[in-house]
Amino acid sequence: MNYIAIRPGLRAHKYVYTFVICLSILSQRLFVAGQPLRSPQTEPACIRTCIAKNIDCQSCVKELAERLSTPKHMDLPYYKAHDGVPDPVVGVRHHHFLDRPPWVPGSSNTHHQPGDGKTIAEGKVHTNCPAMRARSRAPGITLRMPYTVRFHRAGVIEVDCHWISEAYVHSLTVGHPVDSPWIRLPQSHMQIFTVGDSRADVWIVNSGIYINDESFMSSPNADPADKGGSQGNKWMVLPIPHKLPAATWHVEQGIFSSFLRTGRNANIPIQLNFTALDHDADFIEIAKGTPMIQYVPVVLPAVEVHEEPMPTDTVDYLVLLSKLHDGGDIRETKEHDLGAYDTMKSYQLKDNPGYVQHSARKARGKNKPSADEL
């Protein structure tokens, strides 16, 4: 299992910003020329001989695999544009399915009290799903909105510049149509811009977080300058998992080559949807501290798919599942099959008030909740 950690570094400063940009460009060119191998932890005495003679030596293979593969643990430094910018974190808190389905009579959130440690579920966030739980634990760098911003219908953009003062609001108007507007906020390196969008409803927001991913780029599969590429060591740009999207905006997805390519900027791509805005509302607001996006490190191979006949063991397994739930075998019932319905009990639903929990296994149909409990 791979791990990732992030740690704070020095704050960005206006007097050294130009130097940082130049250094980033120089670093990029050095990395493009050839990826440096990480220093070996050990040096088997026979490694050079085995490589020269193409001998399959287990010690050498292990050593080379460690040096040539993606690091199993990464401790990435990050830098902040301002002290007040929310810190990035790795992973997200896994939400628990604590309430009954909305169609169940009497279902409400009134029994959840602030500070009780429970979180109202959003979307498909069942704790008894291993895949969803693993997605929450994925080593993705989670970024939050660095400030409160309001996008107005009339083209006005307002930013609460908390690094100047709590009351300072920077306001400007973007005329339409416009070709790729670029905005730098006052007394800050943070920018807001679009890329080839004349409607100005797709914005890229600097998060105020700068990440150094040189250790991730130390693999031969990595190419920091591979702009637009989709293979090798990449960062998946993903919305926050298990969270219902806002009606008026959402985060776009993408594949990012390296933070080295963008001056270590960690950006947030936002798609605005003014058609979903209430008629009596004038702007779309995104508050400071809102969880926005995750950068998840991945190694992407080239993939192709082709169709083959269904394996017999796969069909047998699917029939086994059906029989476990009294669904029968569709190979036997054929056109007379009417589908099936059953319930799946799980000990992991212990915090769900919509189901009755039992510590001991009971006969089928004996542990259904009563009408009062529903």
Rg of the chain over Cα atoms, rounded to whole angstroms, equals: 26
**Are 241 and 265 a contacting pair, CB within 8 Å?**
no
3 confidence band (pLDDT: 50, 70, 90): low
Percent of the chain topping pLDDT 90: 38
Across-strand partners of 209? 80
pTM of the shown model: 0.71
Any idea what DSSP says for residue 357?
-
Distance CA 159, CA 162 (A): 9
Q: Using CB atoms within 10 Å of the CB of residue 252, give its burial: 0 to 12 exposed, 13 to 18 middle, 19+ buried.
A: middle
Neighbours of 185 (CB within 10 A): 21
Least confident of 77-91, 136-150, 283-297, 339-353: 339-353
Least confident of 63-67, 227-231, 275-279: 63-67
Neighbours of 173 (CB within 10 A): 10
Q: Does position 121 have pLDDT exceeding 80, yes or no?
A: no
Direct distance between the N- and C-terminal alpha carbons of the chain, in angstroms, rounded to an integer? 41
Least confident of 126-130, 205-209, 276-280: 126-130
**pLDDT tens across 61-94, in order?**
666 666 667 777 889 999 999 999 999 999 887 6
**Are 244 and 123 a contacting pair, CB within 8 Å?**
yes
Which token pair is 170? 């920077």
| Residue in this structure with the two tokens 């007394």, named with its chain if needed | 187
Highest-scoring range by mean pLDDT, 36-50, 96-110, 121-135: 121-135
Mean pLDDT of the chain: 76
Q: In what order do the strands lie in the sheet with 156-160?
A: 169-173, 156-160, 149-152, 283-286
